[in-house]
Chains A and B, each alone.
Chain A
């Protein structure tokens, strides 16, 4: 588990979430909604791929964090968001800020969940075992 490994996993989670939907209009959902019926096979294939990746990452994150871990991560991220707002870096009176905060929060929780087992094993030497896998 190196810094590069954490970066790659974090960027992958961001790519997955923002490729599925983001407010700029260039995302899977915008593409699927504004395409003609002739592109249905392409939309279905990309959708099945995104669905499989979302299930995989959410499951890994949920198994490694659990309800208390997700709550802790969310609490820290919300506190960080209000800190940014306190320093004037984010304007929480704009709806757009909340949309991006939600998307980035979801991506970060996924990224923390995917890296958490590896990080914990490296820091304190405790591995996560799936026995049997759910």
Chain B
């Protein structure tokens, strides 16, 4: 029996979501968005194939997040991230008037939201023993 909701497992899920979000779009100019919509017209089949994979990734993560967090926990999590942004900009760590930092902060927020959502059924199971199950018959 392997351990459920270990820190390393949550970290791996967070990193996978980070890879998904950063591969879709990031400010460096090397991302799916720049390659598919601002490049030349080559490799159109590969672009469609990877685009569908990316859409699948987002749909999968969004369903898992909505199912594990719902409104009752996703709203407090969003509130916490907004106040964290306010705190960091108040401390001078984060400059929200800078486009680059604002974009990175938004992407980090999305990664934390989806990463938490993907891990949260496991966290709740480990914390409380309440198992999230779906009847498929």
Chain A residues in the interface with B (C-beta under 8 A) = 1, 9, 41-42, 44-45, 47-49, 51-52, 55-56, 59-60, 63-64, 114-115, 117-118, 120-121, 127-134
Contact = CB atoms under 8 A, between A and B. Distances in A.
Contact of A59 (B72, B83, B134): B72
Chain B interface helix/strand/loop/mixed: helix
A8 to B, nearest CB: 10
Contacts of A120: 129
User: What are the 10 closest A-B residue pairs judged by CB atoms, nearest first?
Assistant: A117-B129, A118-B129, A52-B76, A41-B90, A48-B80, A41-B87, A45-B83, A44-B83, A60-B128, A48-B83
Nearest to A61: B128
Given A60-B130, A127-B131, A128-B129, A55 B83 contact: no
Contacts of B91: 41
Contacts of A63: 130
Contact of A132 (B67, B82, B89): B67
Q: Is the interface of A mostly helix, strand, loop or mixed?
A: helix
Contacts of B131: 127-130
B1 interface: no
A109 to B, nearest CB: 14
B129 A127 contact: yes
9 contacts: A41-B83, A41-B86, A45-B83, A45-B86, A49-B80, A117-B128, A127-B131, A129-B130, A129-B131
A60 B86 contact: no
Contacts of A60: 124, 127-128, 130
A56 B70 CA distance: 11
Contact of B128 (A48, A55, A114): A114
A130 B86 contact: no
B42 interface: no
A130 B120 CA distance: 13
B83 A130 contact: no
A44 B132 contact: no
Contacts of B83: 41, 44-45, 47-48
Contact of B84 (A45, A117, A118): A45
A109 B72 CA distance: 20
B97 to A, nearest CB: 16
Interface in B48-100: 67-68, 70, 72-73, 76-77, 79-80, 82-84, 86-87, 89-91
